[in-house]
Structure 1
């Protein structure tokens, strides 16, 4: 990789000097002839090669910085930024990102006032900071995040990204995380790229020519991986119900990370000609591809290819996608576009939720007043499936019937402070280990009836009484 960078003419710190820290360098890029497209080579422009500590000295107080997320989180750059933030006595530096991996050092109490994370989707490493008031959360559909950058609602000073090594022509890729990062690098004034041979080289919209980077830093850290989790009996039963009753041969799947999606995928080996068009995917699809269950042969959009905007899983998953032309990572504004999703056959969208009331209002991003995750792409795909042009789409929400503490997740009233991500009008299927509730076209008393049927048995009598108190009529089919 180092020889490739040399051939590209990468500079050294002494050539660039301390002018790297000058805010006047962070201007709109004048070398774009038409639009900020990071694909074509820029004549006579090469990135400068620096250490992480040298690269982040460009940061000044008050800047807005985009951070590459999920499996592509550039942790060495964030570690260097943490050190520099204290050393340079920075303040009010805003970090924009979806969920990131790693320790989330910049969201720790000791950096309060120096950095402030603005989460577009909350990961585990920022959850405490958001709920403690040290970090922010911006509710937004995943499909609309690119508009924040493209419409200049948020002006990005710097983008911190991680890329695969350049090929012989100088092209890198964003690896397993294209999502909203493509829009960020199109619009950021300055790009610092961590070049890592462990980043898989991927196909699709995530290609960036090295000349569009201002600075490159080399690194060799392994990518973050998901720890393996065994599905519970309840999750296994949910997987059986969905796979046997709701997933048809030739269906186009959208499934996220988690035990329930994994349980469903593990029971689809007997299906044929399944396709994948999903905002993200994990290891569960690999064996289905290898065993011939996933062929993508029936899809309308990018037939024959797995389409996603990001992926997160094990090293096996990253090896699977590396240089694999059957896996395509696209801009999330395209992947999660309802008008695109609905064109595929039998769109089967499976998403999880935290709580649902007896009228069908769904909480997916919070537990009462405590923020937990984000809006994400749930509504994008629920609508895409519901509006399927073939009329065979299935928008599915799934959850265990009760919490680990034994409280019902089907409730008369939502917890105070809980945010409705999916409205009553969006909901079609709700699945627990006790069955499938179909609510499309059902009135409130019918919805209550369907939901009580799939609640945990010990809660059904109380829910029935609560439904009568709320609706002034007994739930009925």
Structure 2
């Protein structure tokens, strides 16, 4: 049978796809902009028909109404999206604390049960290969492990290259449904974001390889790099901010020691501008997360610069990025993977940067996000040994190899001026025990 005949004979509806999920099944769904929304909408609609089913997905971008409902579906995740945050924190869904790069191994070793994989893919090319487009991450591992793979074939999905292409013969059923890819819009940059971006840019030399997340601060950093030369990208995520730098030639990967000329990522999330840029672009190489985010692979990059944000930091240099108190907010993602990869860099020039606004406003009151010590119950995402620089709108605190007193002084100097004396006094009282 030709691949075209196989493909045509295995087209089903979203409802039929959900009906194929048997009792006691473990289902893995591709994440973020790779979520197959036609299938997850059907999962919402027909959830009551499923019995004793466990679902795992990171960063849900559909409405996720089946999560936490009165049905027989258990949901677990390693990175919380807004649609499932309430259910996780109410105990109606569960969270797995794990580094992103470990997910394929968890799937392979049945720590995450994967009988059925629900994924998004492009239409097949002339040879019968589909691309998972915006999602390589753990999606490829799920397809390899699952006994049954159902793909939403979406002609709006960009075709990307790397480790995220499979032949249609590796997929059991196909749901044809064309719809826009999920878009993530970054809010307009504030003055503090812009200032943080300028400080971070000072730490980036020509020829550096960058990892940046998504959000206002990473975009603010990218906006300050127009005068740099020969930058490269090896990042868990590529978002909109990279596009103009690549088009202008600032990002060209010519100085990269690992995968020169290629922008390496494990997933993509942004707006249609990004998806148009990566579609059929041979300069984009998608790698599975156990490769892209492996600190040993990251360490192969020259001048590896990692920039991530956080929720809170203390004067010891401990960083909270994925929880508020004991309540899970997001997930570790690749923050620690990349910070450690930069620290292990073979050229000794890696830099691990945590960037944050120094304050937030809550109920009309200004609150310092830099605190003397983390509160009891706060969950540490990144240890104090892993942070080289802490950057706020007030400057750069260099922490690497500094003593407790030296790092506290540096951090206080980049705190909001209204809180500096309080931080000094509390450091003496709580940490120096004077």
Deviations 1:427-468 (A, max 9, x none): 110000001111111111111111111110111111111000
Aligned length: 430
The Cα of 1:155 is off from its aligned counterpart by 3.1
Structure 2 unaligned regions, length at least 5? none
Deviations 1:28-83 (A, max 9, x none): xxxxxxxxxxxxxxxxxxxx111010111111333210001110111111111222
- The residue number in structure 2 matching 1:207 is 165
- The residue number in structure 2 matching 1:239 is 197
Note if 1:335 corresponds to 2:292. Answer: yes
How far apart, CA to CA, are the structure 2 residues paired with 1:418 and 1:187? 36
How far apart, CA to CA, are the structure 2 residues paired with 1:285 and 1:203? 18
- Aligned counterpart for 2:125 among listed residues 162, 167, 170: 167
Runs of 4+ in 1 over 4 A off after TM superposition: none
Note if 1:430 corresponds to 2:428. Answer: no
- The residue number in structure 2 matching 1:10 is 8
The Cα of 1:295 is off from its aligned counterpart by 0.7
The Cα of 1:182 is off from its aligned counterpart by 0.9
Structure 1 unaligned regions, length at least 5? 12-47
- The residue number in structure 2 matching 1:98 is 58
- Aligned counterpart for 1:377 among listed residues 325, 334, 349: 334
Task: Give the alignment's TM-score, normalised by structure 1.
Answer: 0.88
How far apart, CA to CA, are the structure 1 residues paired with 2:71 and 2:220? 43
The Cα of 1:473 is off from its aligned counterpart by 6.7
Note if 1:79 corresponds to 2:41. Answer: yes
Note if 1:291 corresponds to 2:291. Answer: no
The Cα of 1:9 is off from its aligned counterpart by 5.0
Larger CA Rg, structure 1 vs 2: 1
Note if 1:59 corresponds to 2:21. Answer: yes
Task: Give the alignment's TM-score, normalised by structure 2.
Answer: 0.96
Q: RMSD over aligned Cα, in angstroms?
A: 1.4
- Aligned counterpart for 2:347 among listed residues 381, 386, 390: 390
- Aligned counterpart for 2:373 among listed residues 413, 422, 425: 413
- Aligned counterpart for 1:303 among listed residues 249, 255, 260: 260
1:52 to 1:5, Cα distance in 2 relative to 1, 3 A: farther
Whether the 8 Å contact between 1:143 and 1:337 is mirrored in structure 2 is yes
Note if 1:270 corresponds to 2:268. Answer: no
Note if 1:464 corresponds to 2:424. Answer: yes
Whether the 8 Å contact between 2:32 and 2:58 is mirrored in structure 1 is yes
Whether the 8 Å contact between 1:397 and 1:429 is mirrored in structure 2 is yes
1:446 to 1:263, Cα distance in 2 relative to 1, 3 A: same
Deviations 1:198-228 (A, max 9, x none): 0111100000111111110000111110124
What are the within-5 Å matches in structure 2 for residues 314-333 of structure 1?
314-333=271-290
How far apart, CA to CA, are the structure 2 residues paired with 1:103 and 1:192? 20
